[in-house]
Every structure is written in structure tokens, then in C-alpha cells.
Amino acid sequence: MPKLTIDNIQVEAEPGDTILKAAAKIGIKIPTLCHHPDQAVKANCRICVVEVEGQRVLQPACSFPASEGLIVKTNSSKARLARRNILELILAHHNRECLTCPRGGGCELQTVSEMLNFNGEIRYENHMRGHGKDYSSPSIVRDPSKCIVCERCIYACSQIQTVNVLSKENRGFHTTVATAYNLPLSETSCVFCGQCVQACPVGALTMRDDTKEVWKAIEDPDKWVVAQCAPTVRITLAEALGEPPGTVSTGRLVTAMRALGFNAVFDTDFSADLTIMEEGSELLHRIQNGGTLPMITSCSPGWVNFCEAYYDDQLAHLSTCKSPQQMFGAVLKTYYADKCGRDIDSLYSVSIMPCTAKKHERLRPAMASSGRRDVDCVLTVQELARMIKSAGLDFARLPESDFDLPFGLGSGAGEIFGATGGVMEAALRTVYEIVTGRELENIEFTDVRGFAGVKEAAVDLDGTEVKIAVAHGLSNARLLMDQLREGQSPYHFIEVMACPGGCIGGGGNPIKNWAKMDKRLDAVYETDRSLPIRKSHKNPAIKQLYDEFLKEPLGELPHKLLHTHYSSRAALTK
């Protein structure tokens, strides 16, 4: 346990700690930009330089090890002068239109400028990077003029997701982050997961804002604007509006959306239950009839995009089920339209999602089984939070309301879709009882919970052992897919979520780190335990939908509305 002195305060560090980490233990905050708590140390921005006794030059606090007897000054005149100069050099490359930047008050560069009390003139000429904004993606907007080359997006794309769309090009003053050959994002193998947006400290990578389209629909008297809210939204919306991570705000969420002008507010937990009915039945059909195994979940559009681009030879393993978002959209434009007596063209279907890839998913050609686009617009949690702020709603003080019927009832199984392992656990709760005809004594499958990269388990279904695996983050998915490609996969059923942690780590949520993720995960399972119905097949609204409309899982109408097919994107990886 090395002891060192930082700004005349002695601190005992843990083995392997850096000066940055040791300083934080005694309440000394050193400015950082390239550093991210969930990424490897890069030490390339140098804004964290400190003075270390015995060292001839300033050292980066994020990478310099905390060792016995070290004497450090974090706020010496030499360190302050160097940081100011580094900040000026960064700002000389930066588009400084801060008032209109989507990152607004969440910009880390703005925070560092405030920390350094920077209010003076920049001595260097302003030469912005890049060749204009890239709006080609339906999910993500790139603005190279705001890039500070911290490389956090590169790490997220290459190390965490193994997609490798972004990399550095040029050298020295002309260094920038770009796609290969400066192609638009839409022409690359980008899976639209938004993890680069989560990693970016500034406004160089942001999610596409579609709030104007929704406001336009709400104000159109000929439109009946219907919204569905994903399970994760009730976990992360309050956080996006300034409340502690893990705050569950289901009732206030519904009240806020009604105040914004939505005509009906439904719960995507309902269509998560619908997904389990179809996906669980598909799994049993494959097991009993020699179908392609392992079957892999298809709820995560970022994962589906990844599979189509990098493992197009394995597409037969994907479940044919649409995601809960798209199932909901298809039911809204058919069953709901008929039930409420509304013309299909008057229905405007909005999804509130934690996921940037959902914006791309709604545009897939197969997602129009009603004859119209199943989902007209997708808003992320951050976009909904902006709408609530712009409407002047004090979210913390709003009363609670219930979701609208007939799609306001969801089960705990639908709720846990938001966490890695949740789809698998929800499926097992239903499949086990359908196969065995017995009630589960303990419905919580803890083996598939938590943040381990790959989790494995086995379930006995009346003498048939079903081996399962769960992966989150595409680097972990790649491990399972390489195993499958080599013919060595022992599993029957695999769940993959593109984003680390699952939907609670989605690119459209408030900016995250793993400390926040723990609290979000706890909130998911607390919500599940609080609900009166915790199994998808026990949801009476699901039973009613099959009785009145769909008839039976995997039937002719469910096949038309609720299932899909996939296409290779491998050409984009060449």
C-alpha cells in the first residue's frame, strides 16, 4: 500500500493506482479529457499533467503510477501554465459554437475550461478539423469540427464493440478521427449502437435528434400520436433529468408524455411479453423438430446489424422474431387501429427507446408488415428528456399515471429485457412452464444475471438439458460467434445484446459509467419483483391478443406481422 504526498496531503494508494486515482481519494480532482473510467489509459491529451518531484518534465496523472514516497503538486504554476497552453491548442482546433451544441452543459471540454478558469483569449488561429457534418446515418451525427482526438470513440468502437469503423488519420497538427476513406457512416459497417456517442466527451458524436418530427405530428389535428416506452426508459429518464441513477419513474413518465401531447402511452413490456411467446415457441419448435441450433435472440438491432456484417454465414441461427419495438408497431397498425376505429394513416407510432440502433431498425424494408411503416419515429431517452425540459415540466414534481389500455399491462419478464440476461431469463420462465406443465419454484435465473462478459448455464426441461449462453457487448458476442463458426458451440440458446450491460447501457441513455450501471441494474430487478405478474404467458393482455387476433404463436398471422428475415451486410466490411 504505497504512501505518497499530493498537494501536502498524505494518501495511501492501492497497488496499481495512478496519481489521478490516488488524488481522487482525498478529494483532489485533476482535469481529464482522454481518460475514461471504463477504458484503458491513453494519456494522449495531457490535460492532466502534474509536477512530480524528481521528474524533469510534467507527467500525466492518468498514467503515472502512485509509488511509495512520491511527492506530487497538482496545482503548481508550472502545471497550471502547461494545462492552459494545452487547452488553448485543443480549442484552436475546436468548433466553439457552444450555445447550439447538442452536448450543451454535458460537454467535458466545457467543464475543463471552467475548472481551469479559462476566460482569456486563445493565442492560436482557429483551424477546425474535418469536412463538414455527416448526417448520413439515421442514428448518429458526426461533427469532426468538434473532435478533440481523445480516441475514446476509437476505443469504444474497436475494443469494446470490435466494429473498427473509426480510426486516426494524418499526423501531428492534422490528426483527426475518421472512417476509412472518409466514407459517410451509412456506407460503413457501423452497427449504429451509439457506444461511440456514449464515449465522446464533446459534441463530435451525437445521436440524431428527431424531436421536431414528433412535435410536428403532435400538433397535427389529423394525427393520433401513440407512444410505446421501453422497459429501460423508466429506469434512465429520471437520471437524464438530474435525478440519481436507478430512480424508477414509471408513473411520472406517463404523466409527462400526456402533458407533451401524446394521445396514448403504452408499455413496451407488453410486446416484450409478446416476443417471449413467439421466441419461446420458436425455440421449442427448433429443439423438437431438428431446427437450426443454437437459436440466437434478435431483440437487439445493433447485434443484428453486426451479425449481418460480420457473420452473414450464420444468419440462420438468428431468431426470426422482430424486436419488441417492431412487434408493437405492427400490432398498433393492425389490431389497435381496428379496435379503436382509426384509419391506419392517421396513426403516428412513436417509440421511446434507450437505443440509437432502433432509429435504423425502424427503416429496415421488412418493418412494414401492415402495409405502412410499423414505427414512424424513434426517440431516445435523451431526446424525450429534452422535450420534457423544453415544455417546462418539473419532472420531479409530476403526479403519477398509469399506462393506457389495451397495451398498458406488462410483466416482470418484459421488464427485465432491459438488462443483459433478461431476455434469456424471461424466455426460460415461460418455456420451462410450457414444457413441464409445472410452476417454477424460483423464477429468478441468477446464473444469467450480472456483468460478466459471457455467462453460461444449463436448464433441465423434463429430461432435456438445454445449454444457454448470454453475451453483452459485441466483443463478447464475437467470442461466441467464432466458436459457432468453428463448429464448437455447445449451446441450444444464446442471448446477445449489442451494448455493454444490455439496454441499460444503450447509446441513447444518459452518459454512463459502470458505477451508474450497477444502480440501473438493481432498479431493473427491483421493478420486476414489484410487479404482480412476472411471467409473459401469464399476462392477460397477451392472452386476449391471441384470443381476439393472433390465434396462436407461430401461426399464419404472427408469421406475417411479428417475424422477419435478414440480409447480408458483409460487403460493407470489405
- pLDDT tens digits, residue range 299-311? 999 999 999 999 9
* Among the listed residues 418, 379, 415, the one whose alpha carbon sits nearest the alpha carbon of residue 505: 418
- Domain hosting 163: range is 92-207
If asked whether residues 123 and 149 sit together in one domain, one would say: yes
**Domain-terminating residue out of 207, 241, 257:** 207
If asked whether residues 553 and 433 sit together in one domain, one would say: yes
218 vs 376: CA distance, rounded Å = 13
State pLDDT tens for residues 376-434. Answer: 999 999 999 999 999 999 999 999 999 999 999 999 999 999 999 999 999 999 999 99
| Contact (Cβ atoms closer than 8 angstroms) between residue 49 and residue 60 | yes
Residues listed for the chain = 574
For the chain, the domain total comes to 3
If asked whether residues 331 and 370 sit together in one domain, one would say: yes
Examine residue 84 and state whether it is found in any structural domain, yes or no. no
32 vs 111: CA distance, rounded Å = 10
If asked whether residues 290 and 388 sit together in one domain, one would say: yes
C-alpha cell at 91: 480549442
Examine residue 80 and state whether it is found in any structural domain, yes or no. no
Examine residue 49 and state whether it is found in any structural domain, yes or no. yes
Examine residue 86 and state whether it is found in any structural domain, yes or no. no
If asked whether residues 242 and 194 sit together in one domain, one would say: no
* CATH assignment at residue 378: 3.40.50.1780
If asked whether residues 365 and 281 sit together in one domain, one would say: yes
**pLDDT given for residue 131 in this prediction:** 76
The arithmetic mean of pLDDT across residues 360-376, rounded, is 94
54 vs 281: CA distance, rounded Å = 68
State pLDDT tens for residues 38-53. Answer: 999 999 999 999 999 9
Which range among 127-141, 465-479, 523-537 shows the weakest confidence by mean pLDDT? 127-141
Query: pTM of this prediction?
Result: 0.95
Examine residue 203 and state whether it is found in any structural domain, yes or no. yes
Q: How confident is the model at residue 104 (pLDDT cuts 50, 70, 90)?
A: confident
Examine residue 264 and state whether it is found in any structural domain, yes or no. yes
If asked whether residues 45 and 97 sit together in one domain, one would say: no
pLDDT at 95 over 80: yes
* CATH assignment at residue 132: 3.30.70.20
**pLDDT given for residue 515 in this prediction:** 87
Instruction: Specify the pairing of strand 205-207 against strand 3-6.
Output: unpaired
* CATH assignment at residue 39: 3.10.20.740
The arithmetic mean of pLDDT across residues 444-471, rounded, is 95
Q: How confident is the model at residue 493 (pLDDT cuts 50, 70, 90)?
A: very high
If asked whether residues 137 and 175 sit together in one domain, one would say: yes
465 vs 350: CA distance, rounded Å = 41
If asked whether residues 403 and 497 sit together in one domain, one would say: yes
Examine residue 177 and state whether it is found in any structural domain, yes or no. yes
If asked whether residues 251 and 353 sit together in one domain, one would say: yes
**Domain-terminating residue out of 25, 46, 75:** 75
If asked whether residues 390 and 435 sit together in one domain, one would say: yes
Written as one string, the DSSP assignment of 24-65 is: HHTTPPPP-SS--TTS-----S-TTEEEETT-SS-EETTTSB
If asked whether residues 237 and 159 sit together in one domain, one would say: no
Examine residue 104 and state whether it is found in any structural domain, yes or no. yes
**Domain-terminating residue out of 75, 106, 130:** 75
